Amino acid sequence: MSLSIVYSRARLGIQAPPVTVEVHLANGMPGLTLVGLPETAVRESKDRVRSALQTSGLEFPGLRRITINLAPADLPKEGGRFDLAIALGLLCASGQLPADVLADCECLGELALSGELRPVQGVLPAALACRENGRRLLLPAANAAEAALVEGIQTVAAGSLAELCAHLRGEQALQTQVSDHSAAAPSYPDLSDVQGQQQAKRALLVAASGGHNLLLFGPPGTGKTLLASRLPGILPPLQEQEALELAAIQSVCGQHSLQHWPLRPFRAPHHSASAAALVGGGSQPRPGEISQAHNGVLFLDELPEFDRKVLEMLREPLESGQIHIARAREQISFPARFQLIAAMNPCPCGYHGDSSQRCRCTPEQVERYRQRLSGPLLDRIDLHLGMHNEPLSLQDQQPGTPDSATASALVARARQRQLQRQGCLNAQLSLDGLRRWCLPQTADSAWLEQCMQRLGLSRRASHRVLKVARTLADMAGVEQAGRGELAEALQYRQLDRRPAG
């Protein structure tokens, strides 16, 4: 047969659109033409495939005119992921493999000159799409464990092209590899390691229970970073679909590690991170830190030190849970449903309001420092809490801190109430859901309105207060938020109050 068709998958964001590799052999001047919008690495595949076939003891049909089409023609193709599909297409077209052996298969893999199969990125999205089409997936052995995360898919993993060809001819069967996740995953740092700071721990539990964003501000050494690193450990375990979404993003980024699956991610980019690094982008858009923190925690330390334009880009994903990246040729959306935990100093020197009285910043300097954060961004952060250095004697007198397991059980119960009532966490409630589930009684509502006017809070900030109060009610197991929950929620809007001169 002089024409063969092999199925493969491209990589477009975290999607895996289908690609049909058509190989045609014809009489005429010997040569190889590769079409279908291939970029440089794909065009170079003809040289890798030729050497891989020859070193594997197979014949490259060099005396024929070869045309290889990667359809659809308007979809950009990148990387070496099509090497295996091209090689198998040449073997089928030249009669070295049965013509119909690949009819129910999809192929991914890069070829070394020796014929070895090398791993590629983005296998998990391709495996999910392959399962939907009811096909087998042929891939390198190094990618087998990652593909096995997808249940209900048959994978055939080989270490070399020669092994795979022997399997397809029925000469030597390859075993389907299954990933083993029985080993215990690395544990998160425990909440009981944090001494003192009972109010901050309470705020952390509130944030975890309702999926709220949290901003901690205070002098250096008060435990802001220590507390933030404990948040993933008190969040409920990832559901299977959430874990697969996260693994697909990590697979596309080339950072997928089964040793940390299915732990919630904790991403902590440096304040020098660019906009593309934080929210994603590039000429061929890739997920940024906010997408790699999907279903997990994004920790931004020294928040005012980030470029203001970079921080303003967080406003849309904080509301919608996704980021849209537009380029001239394509528009791509990445999921970004992360929980933001930020930390900052109260002033440029870091000691404003500290009992040591080391701060020499003027009120104007403090105000300029805090003005680096815009009002719309602060409105989208549900809880603002100041932290202070505590004497060791006071820490010893405070009640013991629950460990992460105990705190996680409390958080899970509060979240379960929210999911049963409204189908989502309180932080994700729409305006209609807010009106239905979060409005207090008439007397409490009037009292809250007076407090809002006195504090000068925006309407968005008032919505955040209502959502936090609803979470406090869920933690207490009561049906409706009362004045006590509303008052505590208002206490978590401390940065809305400007420092006194």
pLDDT of 247 reads 85
Q: Residue 417: pLDDT above 90? A: yes
One DSSP character per residue, 95-132 reads TSS-TTTTTTEEE--EE-TTSBEEP-S-HHHHHHHHHH
Rg over alpha carbons for the chain, rounded to the nearest Å, is 28
pLDDT confidence bin for 420, thresholds 50/70/90:
very high
Q: Residue 481: pLDDT above 80? A: yes
pLDDT confidence bin for 312, thresholds 50/70/90:
very high
Ordered strands of the 297-300 beta sheet: 266-267, 297-300, 339-344, 214-217, 383-386
Q: What is the mean pLDDT of residues 201-218?
A: 95
Nearest Cα neighbor of 210 from 434, 491, 472 is: 472
pLDDT of 438 reads 92
Q: Is residue 218 within 8 Å of 345, Cβ to Cβ?
A: yes
Q: What is the mean pLDDT of residues 286-300?
A: 94
As a whole number of angstroms, the distance between CA 138 and CA 151 comes to 16
Q: Residue 183: pLDDT above 50? A: no
Better pLDDT: 383 or 184: 383
Q: Residue 144: pLDDT above 70? A: yes
pLDDT confidence bin for 177, thresholds 50/70/90:
low
pLDDT confidence bin for 54, thresholds 50/70/90:
very high
Better pLDDT: 273 or 400: 273
Angle subtended by helix axes 161-168 and 83-93, to nearest 10: 50
In the chain, pLDDT over 90 holds for what percent of residues?
A: 64
pTM, two decimals, is 0.85
pLDDT of 192 reads 87
The hierarchical CATH code for the domain 191-496 is 3.40.50.300
Q: Is residue 214 within 8 Å of 494, Cβ to Cβ?
A: no
Give the list of residues 6+ apart from residue 271 with CB closer than 8 angstroms, or none: 300, 301, 302, 303, 305, 306
pLDDT of 500 reads 39
Q: Is residue 444 within 8 Å of 473, Cβ to Cβ?
A: no
Q: Where are the CATH 3.40.50.300 domain residues in the chain?
A: 191-496
Q: Residue 255: pLDDT above 80? A: no
Nearest Cα neighbor of 111 from 133, 90, 135 is: 90
Q: Where are the CATH 3.30.230.10 domain residues in the chain?
A: 3-168
Q: Is 341 helix (H, G, I), strand (E, B) or coil?
A: strand
Q: Is residue 257 within 8 Å of 289, Cβ to Cβ?
A: no
Using left for φ > 0, alpha for ψ between -120 and 50, and beta otherwise, residue 394 falls in: alpha
Better pLDDT: 146 or 255: 146
DSSP-derived secondary structure letter, 186: P
Q: What is the mean pLDDT of residues 263-287?
A: 90
Q: What is the mean pLDDT of residues 287-307?
A: 94
**Domain 3-168 class?**
alpha beta
pLDDT of 252 reads 85
Better pLDDT: 442 or 88: 88
- pLDDT tens, position by position, 442-480: 899 999 999 988 888 888 889 999 999 999 999 999 999
pLDDT confidence bin for 499, thresholds 50/70/90:
very low
pLDDT confidence bin for 394, thresholds 50/70/90:
low
**How many other β-carbons are positioned within 10 Å of the β-carbon of residue 442?**
8
CA 372 to each of CA 210, 312, 384: distance values in angstroms, whole numbers, following the listed order: 27, 11, 16
Tokens, residue 256 = 């997928």
Q: What is the mean pLDDT of residues 323-335?
A: 84
Secondary element (H or E) of residue 271: none
